[in-house]
Amino acid sequence: MVGAIFVAWFVYGIASSFLGVTGAPFDWSNALLILTPLTALALLFAFLIGGDDETTGVIKRKLISLYVIAIAVLFWVISPIEDFFILNITGSEVAIDVLTYLLMALVLGGIGIAIFMMWFRPIDEFMRKYQSDIKGIDRAKVSEISKAASWFPVRTALTAAFMSTLGYVVGAATFYLVHSDIPVTLVVNNILIGIAIGPMVFSVIYFFSRSILEGVGSILYVFKDIAVPQRVIGVKGKILFFGIAPGIFFTITSATLFFNLIDGRMSLDLFYSGIAANFAFALLLMVIIGEGLIMSAVSALYEIKHGMELMQSGNWTHRISVRTGDEMEDVAYEFNKMADELEKRCK
């Protein structure tokens, strides 16, 4: 039901914005009437197709939901707000922007989800085999999936970041081709916004996709997997990159607003409003990233602590399942090797 309403409203948005391009009255209020319900429907749809059981179907639906939410927030929330302040356009130009958002969400979103699922396919096949023929899974296959699970969050996050930046480049180019009389600086500003948003998208997709795959790590634990850990992003690298991502966004977006102000394309009141909106986005991202970093570290430390307690009680068969792609995974690997050696000596 929600999916049907979503598709119907999506088609309505494309039709309405197309009429605006051809000359029908259209402004930012019309854009809000189209994009706000679409965003709400996308969030509701993503929420409804989730689930609690960590089966392969549920994990796949959660990953698709994550991408749907990212597309909705990026193209139907952040993009219009940023363009309102950066481009400061009206009429058919707004209609062109909205039509571009919707088409890019459809095309780039579809391509992104397809790539998403391509990275997930080996994990999906492994989990199906685990449910149907667990004895047919050998150690080499476990090591292969361990590597795939460690790299999956980075690959999907890079895909999402590239698609979002590409969307802004395509949008800016389309806008310039349709309205070649606009200043080139506005086109450059729009591309800069895409570059600023790229690290934001990467950060959010990385943490959420890694969280969704925690169930896969638990399954690998069943096989007492002690495959060589995959150092994807170290703790220091995470802190540096994810720490400066909000700063990059706020600095670049504020610079574009300043360029508009000194060129006379923006009033002082609108400039301050834009700075406030960018700061709110950057602060929200900082909270999300900080929470992700803390949860990742605390979860890994708790798992290691729990493993040590079990070993102290004489349980030599327990193995730690940590899939953080950093030094925490190295510690878990060394712990599992020690547990293997102690178990052999006890036997």
User: How much is the pLDDT for 221?
Assistant: 66
The three-state secondary structure class of 142 is helix
User: How much is the pLDDT for 54?
Assistant: 60
User: How much is the pLDDT for 308?
Assistant: 82
Determine the Cα–Cα distance for residues 312 and 305; give it in Å rounded to an integer: 11
DSSP 75: I
DSSP 325: S
User: How much is the pLDDT for 185?
Assistant: 76
The three-state secondary structure class of 28 is helix
User: How much is the pLDDT for 201?
Assistant: 84
Judging by beta carbons within 10 Å of its beta carbon (0-12, 13-18, 19+), is residue 289 exposed, middle or buried?
buried
Determine the Cα–Cα distance for residues 182 and 178; give it in Å rounded to an integer: 10
- 323 within 8 A of 329, measured Cβ to Cβ: yes
DSSP 181: T
Tokens of 189: 């500003």
* Angle of CA points 214, 249, 272, to nearest 5°: 135
- 213 within 8 A of 152, measured Cβ to Cβ: yes
Segments in 74-183 forming alpha helices (H): 79-86, 92-132, 139-178
Domain of residue 188, residue span = 2-346
* Region of residue 325 (phi > 0: left; psi between -120 and 50: alpha; otherwise: beta): left
User: How much is the pLDDT for 223?
Assistant: 65
Taken in order 50, 241, 78, 177, is the CA torsion positive or negative? negative
* Angle of CA points 55, 161, 234, to nearest 5°: 75
In terms of Cα–Cα distance, which of 28, 37, 50 is closest to 7? 37
User: How much is the pLDDT for 156?
Assistant: 87
* Mean pLDDT in consecutive groups of 10 residues from the start of the chain, 347 residues: 83 88 83 86 74 67 80 80 74 83 85 85 80 72 77 86 86 76 76 84 82 72 62 76 83 85 80 86 82 78 82 76 75 79 73
Segments in the chain forming alpha helices (H): 2-21, 28-48, 56-73, 79-86, 92-132, 139-178, 184-212, 214-222, 235-262, 268-312, 327-346
Determine the Cα–Cα distance for residues 279 and 236; give it in Å rounded to an integer: 25
In terms of Cα–Cα distance, which of 86, 85, 9 is closest to 40? 9
Determine the Cα–Cα distance for residues 235 and 216; give it in Å rounded to an integer: 22
The three-state secondary structure class of 57 is helix
User: How much is the pLDDT for 60?
Assistant: 76
Q: How many domains does the chain have?
A: 1
Q: Using alpha carbons, list the distances in angstroms from residue 63 to 116, 130, 311, 323.
A: 8, 20, 35, 17
Determine the Cα–Cα distance for residues 63 and 215; give it in Å rounded to an integer: 13
Tokens of 143: 């090591």
